[in-house]
Amino acid sequence: MAWPEASGLAPRGAFGHLAATPRSHDLGFDDRGDETCRHTLVGVYEDPPISGLPADPGEPAVGATPPTTVSWPPVAAPAVEPPVAQASTPPPAPSYAAPPPDTNPPLAPPPFESVPSGTPPPRFRTPARLTLVFVVVALIAGFGVTTLILNATDSTKKNAASTTPSTAAPAPTAPPTTVPADPHAGALSALIVNQTDVPLGYRVQLQAGGSDFVRGTTLDLCNGTYKSESLRTARRQVVVLDAQDTQVFSTEAVLYKTPDAAAQALKELRTVAAKCPNRPVTSPVGEPTAVTRFLAAPDAAWPHAAGVTRVAFDFTVASQGQTIRSTAVYLWRGRALLALYFPSSQGDQVAIQDKTTIPKIDAIFEARLSALPVADVK
């Protein structure tokens, strides 16, 4: 129970200078007098004065006997309310009691710790540990914020790129390096040499770039320039290799845009050969510089296939310290041109369908070109 100090009943100090029990004081004559007037007052003892301090004005000096005042007839003391009844159990003796509980609300825990209700306050952390915790939290928070910013920036750029039309002019595109395939290009396989044409131990394979009619070269005799190269629409060149991978024969079949374009190619061959200089000529297509000399035409006594025009060249090529004599035969019909390349003009050739001479081998391919359907050559 709380003791109201204003009532004069509560202890006024931790040392118990004031008694909590009412006392009676005798006012009047002392025991030596005949008459005594006893008045009972309820009061409390004041703290004893402290020696050495000056007395307040109007108060007797410390140690002096207060004067006794007597009034006669005695004046009736004012009515005093009886003291409040105290509990039957006296209050405990004053002692060094624990201070009253703090009524202030407890401080909130740090934001990074959650203290459940009813648990003891967190242990004291040293500044070093607190600093480490704050550094870790700051690093994590900084990483998270940086990630969010980068993601937002990247997303913004992507959204802007997807929603904002580009005002820059489109980059120029290179011209196409190929043209649509000729619908009759498949017919060329029936003209060229095939694996079934050669004996065992030889193989037929497509030459590197042998199907490229845009960049691949067909006509390069005497390292001349041939405008008809740009008029080709299909090309297929294969080579025959022996067991030592030496080229011993080759055929090349070409389709041009029109029969006139193919005729132009044949005419250019004749013109270049007739005007080939007797000196080194630089190749316009990257072949070695060479000196080409033409000999008499070899096909004067060869038979002809129906509908096929033939131009044959026997020539030597001197380049890089070597001189080689070769034979090239060109067969023309409609849009098709078929070339036969013999690395050597003399002696037997690799057997093509058991034929080993150039005239007889030529006759085999002239027959193939003559038998090609008209639709493929017109």
What is the sign of the dihedral through the CA atoms of 283, 287, 292 and 298? negative
Q: Which pLDDT belongs to residue 148? A: 57
CA distance 368 to 238: 16
Q: Does 236 score more than 70 pLDDT?
A: yes
Q: Is 313 helix (H, G, I), strand (E, B) or coil?
A: strand
268-316: per-residue pLDDT in tens?
A: 999 999 999 999 999 998 889 999 999 999 999 999 999 999 999 999 9
Q: Which pLDDT belongs to residue 146? A: 57
Q: Which pLDDT belongs to residue 354? A: 97
74 and 37 Cβ atoms separated by less than 8 Å: yes
Cis upstream peptide for 259 (omega within 30°): no
Q: In CATH, what number does 185-377 get?
A: 3.40.1000
Residue owning tokens 């109201």: 4
What is the chain's mean pLDDT, rounded? 74
Q: Which pLDDT belongs to residue 138? A: 60
Return the DSSP state at 374.
H
Q: Which pLDDT belongs to residue 22? A: 44
Give the burial class of 335: count Cβ atoms within 10 A of its Cβ; 0-12 exposed, 13-18 middle, 19 or more buried: buried
* % helix, strand, coil for the chain, step of 5: 25, 15, 60
CA 84, chain centre distance (Å): 88
CA distance 177 to 185: 18
CA 21, chain centre distance (Å): 89
Give the burial class of 160: count Cβ atoms within 10 A of its Cβ; 0-12 exposed, 13-18 middle, 19 or more buried: exposed
Q: Pick the residue with more confidence: 214 or 368? A: 368
Q: Does 76 score more than 60 pLDDT?
A: no
Domain ranges of the chain: 7-48+69-86, 185-377
**Residue closest to 226 by CA, chosen among 194, 254, 191:** 254
96-145: per-residue pLDDT in tens?
A: 555 555 555 555 555 544 445 554 444 444 555 555 555 555 666 655 55
Q: Does 73 score more than 60 pLDDT?
A: no
135-150: per-residue pLDDT in tens?
A: 555 666 655 555 555 5
27-39 burial by CB neighbour count: b if 16+ within 10 A, else e?
beeeeeeeeebee
Q: Pick the residue with more confidence: 222 or 72? A: 222
Q: What is the CA radius of gyration of the chain?
A: 65
Q: Does 205 score more than 70 pLDDT?
A: yes
Q: Does 32 score more than 50 pLDDT?
A: no
Q: Which pLDDT belongs to residue 180? A: 72
Give the lowest-confidence range in 64-68, 149-153, 230-234, 361-365: 64-68
164-201: per-residue pLDDT in tens?
A: 444 444 454 544 455 678 999 999 999 999 999 999 99
